[in-house]
Amino acid sequence: MAEARCALVVGGRGFLGGFMVAALRRRGWRVRVLTRPQGRRMNADEVPGDLTRMLAEDDWAQALDGVSVVVNAAGILREEGRQTFEDVHERAPLALAQACAARGIRFVQVSALGHPDDGGFIASKHRFDAALLELPIEAIVLRPSVAYSLRGSYGGTSLLRALAAFPWRMLLPGDGHWTFQPLCAEDLGEVVAVACERGARGTYDIGCEHPLALRDYQSSWRRWLQIPGRCAWQVPLLLVRAQVALGQWLGRGPVNRTIWNMLLRGNRTEAGAHQRVLDTFGVRVRALDEVLQSEPSQMQDRWAAQLYFLAPWLQWSVVLLWLWSGVVGLVTPAAQIEAMAQGSALAAAAPVALARAAGVLDLALGLGLAFAPRPRGVVLAMLACATAYLVGFGLALPVQFLDPLGGLLKNVVLIPALAVLWVLVDRR
């Protein structure tokens, strides 16, 4: 039996990249995914690589061994550390494309629909698109509008789904009149898979056939999620712009200035783009309502949408609790601490020093949860501390369980809350 054709997918571990990998495998491709090792053991289908370091043609030789087509779905919405638009969107992909041209490997570029003036994300993507099509290579550039899936969400699509699922009424930026042409990530995956097999060249805008207003997009999701209430609370644009500016300044969150500019401009394909995609790739990009009608929503879909805003609320409540606990442990007078420990097992255990040490630890954990980019380890440490406080102080000072305001008993609720937070802080 002949060996399956091999495709290298750059960005295949991302939200959209996963659907492309799945579509390729359904069509019989053997897929390899370029992945940053990050100190872990690589899976059998992974190839180690880092776009910030693979800036020369020779850097791609090992990754391209045995490959007949490359799909580049890598992208970053904001620059952070070594990851810059120039390296991730231009220099590394250009080196990869040059290596592919030298080996006769087809190149499928998954870009983004938008205008270069919207921001560096779009501008850098489009600069590479133009450079790619100038190379002597079989190359296709695909520019999708906003992509969603019934199987999950990520980034801006998660935010939009959460706004649609808000209790009582959905939240809507302004009057929600801005239009775009959203497409199902599964449809995009099929287009990419077919593009890997057909020798078409050029740039293709991809989106559903007819533009959809943001208000209608939100309403469709709310109906699908089976959440009552069809009205909306319109969020004043001044507040929306302030949130966008804050997210841009902090370098966090699903919305930045580029995404906001794309929405304000309207993220729409060129006239006839929908039919052109159908004619070239044989894939009909479905309308949102058609996709939503194809499968019912489940309880987990409502959980994911409605927990979206609760997760940061829980996280920052825990941050405040730990910081306040740390401050109290450091400023409570020594005499008060010694009086509290008098007659207990803690009296001989240097209670003042113990309280000060616990205060420093609580402050460190509170700051860690506030600023760590991957805070799961911090939450585990908090779980350990809360359990230790409950057991240790419960045995040494059992009278604390009789505190009319809760005292140690609050940890009985705090421990499962931290366990839930450990799940929710994984916001990828």
Residue 153 CA to residue 295 CA, distance in Å, equals: 16
Residue 165 CA to residue 130 CA, distance in Å, equals: 40
Tokens of 131: 């450079």
Cα dihedral 154, 5, 273, 287 in deg (nearest 10) = -50
Predicted confidence at residue 42, as pLDDT, reads 81
Domain 6-308, second-level architecture: 3-Layer(aba) Sandwich (3.40)
Tokens of 227: 């959440």
Residue 155 CA to residue 140 CA, distance in Å, equals: 26
Predicted confidence at residue 405, as pLDDT, reads 59
Predicted confidence at residue 284, as pLDDT, reads 96
Closest CA to 107 of 75, 136, 69: 69
Sequence spans of domains, the chain? 6-308, 311-424
pLDDT tens for each residue of 268-299? 999 999 999 999 999 999 999 999 999 999 99
Query: Which DSSP string corresponds to 235-251?
Result: EPHHHHHHHHHHHHHHT
- What is the mean pLDDT of each successive set of 10 residues along the chain, which is 428 residues long? 79 94 96 86 87 94 94 92 93 97 96 94 96 95 96 88 93 92 97 91 95 96 93 91 84 81 91 95 96 95 93 95 93 87 75 89 95 92 91 74 70 92 84
Place of tokens 């207003």: 213
* Max CA separation in the chain (angstroms): 84
CB atoms within 10 A of CB 360: 12
Predicted confidence at residue 81, as pLDDT, reads 84
Helix (H, G, I), strand (E, B) or coil at 299: helix
CB atoms within 10 A of CB 330: 15
Residue 100 and residue 106 in contact, taking contact as beta carbons nearer than 8 Å: yes
Predicted confidence at residue 229, as pLDDT, reads 85
Predicted confidence at residue 253, as pLDDT, reads 74
